[in-house]
Structure formats: structure tokens, C-alpha cells
Chains A and B, each alone.
Chain A
Amino acid sequence: AQTVTQSQPEMSVQEAETVTLSCTYDTSESDYYLFWYKQPPSRQMILVIRQEAYKQQNATENRFSVNFQKAAKSFSLKISDSQLGDAAMYFCAYRRTGNQFYFGTGTSLTVIP
């Protein structure tokens, strides 16, 4: 079975500071995708960043970057220069062969002005 674990139900960060959200997953596959989605109060699910497991280079999208440790099955999200608009629920997701996606339970991020 594939499972995704987010061990931090809530996190907070000062505006302009850096925060890291943790995610671990369990799989027996070697080829898969990992994602971070953001869900603001509007409820809309927004893709933040994705990582292909076969790529060793960590993905980066502007202020968002990941630390992908394949052997450790770890996929953390780093948000640099945090902004008020980053406040949201963040979900880590794993995509297995067959296009099935599995989501973690989410981390609620608060940005303190």
C-alpha cells in the first residue's frame, strides 16, 4: 500500500522568513511522481511544485523548493521569503503507476505579519 505522512498538522512562520514542511511516503515502486498542493481558504487546490522520482535534481519554483531524498522516502517543501498569501493548507501527494494519487493529511501554515 502507498501512504503519505505529513507529521506537522500546523506550522507558523514569520513573514519574510523560511519554513520547511515535512512529508514522507511509503512505496515499493521506483518510478513515481511527488507533488505539493496548496489549498487557501477559497478551497481551490493549487499545484505548487512537482518532482519526478527519476530526477536527482530537486525541483524549484520561485520561492518554493523541495528536498527530495529518495532513499529516505522524504519530500519536504521549503518556502523562502514567506508572504501573507502563502497562508494555506499544504498537501503532499504521491502518484503511483496507473495515475492513482495519494494525499497526506495536510499541514496548515500560518504566516505571522
Chain B
Amino acid sequence: NAGVTQTPKFQVLKTGQSMTLQCAQDMNHEYMSWYRQDPGMGLRLIHYSVGAGITDQGEVPNGYNVSRSTTEDFPLRLLSAAPSQTSVYFCASSNIGQGVSGANVLTFGAGSRLTVL
């Protein structure tokens, strides 16, 4: 299995440009989420979803949009990139529920490094 696949791995944007970070998982996980990782700040939750058609905000949602039209895909959109969005982004997924195999354990993608000039 491929697990969680993120694309692109690296991206450079100019301020004001838009882009979409793609995330796909092939484990039939209900839960998907996006984090950003900044030096000295750990991983912070941006948005998450507990199933197709359901999304919610995390700790730092401003400037980001998400949608969940299928179980497999959870893209993260930057509508107007700002230098403050320079970061490493991780997509992660898991099953949900007690007694479900792999439940409550996040599986991460390889990360996407985004630089906004």
C-alpha cells in the first residue's frame, strides 16, 4: 500500500499566488488532517475531516481552505499565499473508533515544503 501520498514535495510561490497541496490515502481512513510544522512550534492542526463531506477547523485555519469530496482525497488550498505560510505541511490520516485496527494512530505523508517569497 502507498499509505498517505502528498504532492508536491517542494513548491515556491510568490505572494498572492494560489495553489493546492494534494493528499491521498489508500487505507480507507475516515479521518484526514493537515498540519503545518514550523521551527520551535511543533505541528499545528490546520483543518481536519472525519468523513466525506465533513470538514472542520483546527488551531490555525486562517488562509487555508479544504474540501473532502471522497474518502481518499483531502486537498489543502492556499487562495492567496503569504510569506507567513512558508512552512512544511503534513497530511495525516487514521481510522476512527474503539477496537478498529489502526484506529487513533496517525499515518503521515512525507511532507511538502512550501516557500512563499
Contact surface of A with B, Cβ cutoff 8 Å: 4, 6, 9, 33, 35, 37, 43-45, 47, 50, 91, 93, 95, 98-106
Contacts and interface: CB of A to CB of B under 8 A. Distances in A.
Contacts, number: 52
Given A99-B96, A101-B33, A44 B42 contact: no
B interface, over-half SS: strand
Taking each of B59, B90, B108, B110, which has the highest tally of chain A beta carbons within 10 Å of its own beta carbon?
Answer: B108
Interface residues on B, range: 20 to 34
Contacts of A93: 43, 106
B43 A91 contact: yes
Nearest to B59: A102
Interface of B: 31, 33, 35, 40-45, 48, 50, 58-59, 88, 90, 92, 94, 96, 104-106, 108, 110-111
Contacts of A105: 40-42
A14 B68 CA distance: 47
Contacts of B33: 101
A47 B104 CA distance: 12
